[in-house]
Amino acid sequence: MDVFSIMAQLLVGWLIADFLSGIVHWVEDRLLWVDMPLISKAIVEPNRLHHVDPQAFLASPLLSRNSTTWASAIAIALAWLMIAGFSWIWLGAIAGGLAVTEVHAYSHRQTARSGWYRALQEIGIVQSAPHHWGHHAGRMDTRYCILTGWLNPLLDRLRLWARLESGIEVIGLKPNRGTA
Ligand SMILES: [Zn+2]
Ligand SMILES: [Zn+2]
Ligand nearest to the CA of 24: 1
Count of CB atoms situated within 10 Å of the CB of 179: 12
According to the model, what pLDDT value does residue 72 have? Answer: 95
Q: What is the pLDDT, as a whole number, of residue 163?
A: 97
Ligand 1 centroid to 143 CA: how many Å?
8
Ligand that lies nearest to the alpha carbon of residue 50, given by its number in the listed order: 2
Could you give the 3-state DSSP secondary structure of residue 55?
helix
Cβ burial, residue 61 (10 Å; 0-12/13-18/19+): exposed
User: Per-domain residue ranges for the chain?
Assistant: 3-170
Show pLDDT as tens, one digit a residue, over the chain (180 residues).
Answer: 799 999 999 999 999 999 999 999 999 999 999 989 889 988 899 899 999 988 888 888 999 899 999 999 999 999 999 999 999 999 999 999 999 999 999 999 877 778 999 999 999 999 999 999 999 998 889 999 999 999 999 999 999 999 999 999 999 999 998 777
For residue 133, the ligand closest to its alpha carbon is: 2
State residue 139's pLDDT score: 85
